[in-house]
Structure 1
Amino acid sequence: MICIFANGLYEGELDFSCCEKIVAVDGGANFLRLRKIIPDFFIGDADSVENETMDWLRKNNVEMKLYPSEKDEIDLELALEFFKDEEKIVFGWQGERLDMILALFYLLKRFKNTVLESENLTVGYVEGRMILRARVGEKWSILPLGGDATGVTLKGFKYTLKDAKMPILKPYGVSNVAISNEVEIEVREGGVIYFRWKKEPS
């Protein structure tokens, strides 16, 4: 599993046990330095990286792929593309830039083997059929992404669906509840984004 550390907010404890390779994306390297976690790889334009962090990366011989600040891609997109064929978890993806978060949600549609992870929330994208871990009582939201989703089936939830249509202009999939330790999401056409609240949101 590729664990990608972005330049966003980090709160609480994160589980790094699944990380086979650690990738710092731009200012995410600052977080890793403070935690004394040496990444295997650095990707970005370094505009959010402290000088002390850049020195630390070089001192530890971290492989770097540097880009110009003026480009058509966000730094995180470059990292997702570089590891496009591998399973990925992104930490530190939340922050004040709602535009960046929306862009990242769209990127999930392109990089389907990616999930966004924080202490409270897991976000992922489903086309086809997927069985996911859950805990009874957790709040989930399932919403179409990029267009209408059809042939949607939801199992293991309080509010189930069978071969239903989820119009993008009527987001009725907000605030479902898991009633099983496994849930199933299936989409025949289009795709949905899911939000798994591991802790009850305020």
Structure 2
Amino acid sequence: MVCIFANGRYDEELDLSKCDRIVAVDGGANFLKSKNIVPDIFVGDADSVSEETMSWLKRHGVMMKLFPEEKDEIDLELALQQFESEEKIVFGWQGDRLDMILALFYLLKRFKNTILVSESLVIGYVEGKKILSARPGEKWSILPLGSDAEGVSLRGFKYTLKDAKMPVVKPYGVSNEAVSSEVEIEVKTGGVIFFRWKKEPL
């Protein structure tokens, strides 16, 4: 599993047990340095990395993939491209830039083997069928992303669906609830984004 550390907010505790490789995305390197976690690779334009952190990365021989500040891609997209075919977890993706978060949601359509993780929330994208771990009582939201989703079936939830249409302008998939230790999401046309709340949202 590739663990990617972005330049956002972080929880007090991180589970790195599944991480085979660690990737620092721009300012995410500052966080890794604060925890003395040396990444395998740095990706970004370095516009939000302190000089002290850059020296630390070089001192530890971290592979550097540097890009110009003016570019069409966001730094996190460049990092995802480096490991396109591999399973990826993104930490530190939450911040004040709602436009960046929305852009990242759309990138999930392209990099389908990627999940966004925080202490309270897991976000991912489904085309076709996926069986996902859950806990009874957890709050889940399932929403179409970018266009209508059709042939949507939900199993293992309080509110199930069978071959339903989820219009992008009618987000009725908010605030469902898991009733088993596994849930199944199936989409025949289009795709949906899921929000799994591991802790009850405010």
Equivalence for 1:121? 121
Q: How does 1:41-190 map to 2 (within 5 A)?
A: 41-190=41-190
The reply to whether residue 30 of structure 1 matches residue 11 of structure 2 is no
Distance 1:185 1:47 in 2: 39
Distance 2:49 2:127 in 1: 36
SS at match of 1:140: strand
Distance 1:101 1:180 in 2: 30
Distance 2:113 2:83 in 1: 10
- Which amino acid in the other structure matches residue 149 of structure 1? A
SS at match of 2:56: helix
Post-superposition offset of 1:14: 1.2
SS at match of 1:72: coil
Moved over 4 A (4+): none
CA root-mean-square deviation = 0.4
Distance 1:94 1:175 in 2: 20
Deviations 1:128-181 (A, max 9, x none): 000000001000000000100000000000000000000000000000000000
Distance 2:128 2:173 in 1: 17
Distance 2:35 2:13 in 1: 11
If the length of structure 2 is used for normalisation, what is the TM-score? 0.99
SS at match of 2:33: helix
- Which amino acid in the other structure matches residue 108 of structure 1? L
Distance 2:190 2:95 in 1: 28
- Which amino acid in the other structure matches residue 143 of structure 2? L
Distance 1:59 1:14 in 2: 25
Aligned residues: 202
Equivalence for 1:19? 19
Deviations 1:73-115 (A, max 9, x none): 0000000011101100000000100000000000000000100
Distance 1:136 1:115 in 2: 21
Distance 1:28 1:12 in 2: 15
Give structure 2 stretches of 5+ with no counterpart: none
Equivalence for 1:195? 195
Percent identical? 74
Give structure 1 stretches of 5+ with no counterpart: none
Distance 2:8 2:22 in 1: 16
- Which amino acid in the other structure matches residue 65 of structure 1? K
